[in-house]
Amino acid sequence: MRETHHHLDLSSRPRRNRRTPAIRGLVRETSLDASHLIYPLFVQDGETQPIESMPGQKRWSLDDLIGEVKRAHDMGINAIVLFPKVPHEHKTETGEHAYDPCGLAQRAIQAVKQNVPEVCVITDVALDPYNCDGHDGIVSPTGEVLNDETVAVLCKQAISHADAGADIVAPSDMMDGRVAAIRAALDHAGHTNVSIMSYTAKYASAFYGPFRGALDSAPRSGGSGKPIPEDKATYQMDPANQREALRELELDEAEGADIVMVKPAGPYLDVIAKMREVTTLPIAAYQVSGEYAMIKAAAATGGLDEQALVIETLTGIRRAGADMVLTYFAPQVAEWLS
């Protein structure tokens, strides 16, 4: 007896475009490549140490940092961002060490550019690693994080990074007007070719905990006796707000940002997508330490596949509209993709 096939009368069958790996590859809308990734690296004076809050990550010594940058570059990672862990004796209320030409960040920039010159070096411009109060800006005697006074220091910090050889400075402080001020300061100092990647929409997020542990940069009393804000909500953005990000974007564009950023990435895909609709500038998104730690913890249970999780989350960030992603998984992803 002949088998009969019942066919639905369908004018369209989307599954035809999913039938084989070759066809799926042809119609794939979003690509993920090592060239889209930026590798954040922690550096310290002294020996390399593992970071307990971020399994697999380290605070690199200067020598070991060079080896790690070379390893990542060999795998196709062409950009890094540096975060220095500054000893307590160099921390002050006004963060002068931020623009010390012999500072750790400045020496790290020089070392990378001397040894792996083809790698794009991005630097963090903010005072929290240098401020004994643990804030991105200068805290007044009454406990206010001062905007304009902070921006003046950030300009000196950006110039010192450019002097050391940074390709891109990335102000992460969320002070008002800092992009215009840094652009003017860089230009005046002869660094017209140094780019600004602005942390345009940096949210006051609960996802930063492991990072602050890695750098010992959480808000705290520096012993001055003045009131210290417990969080960064007066300058970082409210997680409930989306339109406000577009206002920040408009300002950063007008002030001369070359690249704009959303941080964190995963919980703010809607913000990335909204910004993609209205700007022609490249968009960066930062898959932050808490996102990294969550994936690591989930994979450690054995119930979830780390590689699949990482590729899916990064593809989602790209699909939302990010041109580039800062991720601690960068070298692993480059290895998987190859």
From 175, 124, 170, 172, select the one nearest 145 (Cα to Cα). 175
Question: Which is the catalytic residue, given 58, 91, 202, 232?
Answer: 202
Question: Which is the catalytic residue, given 91, 263, 274, 296?
Answer: 263
**Annotated catalytic residue 202:** yes
What end-to-end distance do the CA atoms of the chain give, in Å? 51
Q: Encoding tokens for residue 147?
A: 């905007």
Distance CA 199, CA 245 (A): 11
Residue 129 sits at the vertex; the CA angle it makes with 126 and 134, to the nearest 5 degrees, is 95
Contact present, 285 and 322 (Cβ < 8 Å): yes
From 143, 125, 252, select the one nearest 191 (Cα to Cα). 125
Catalytic residues: 202, 263
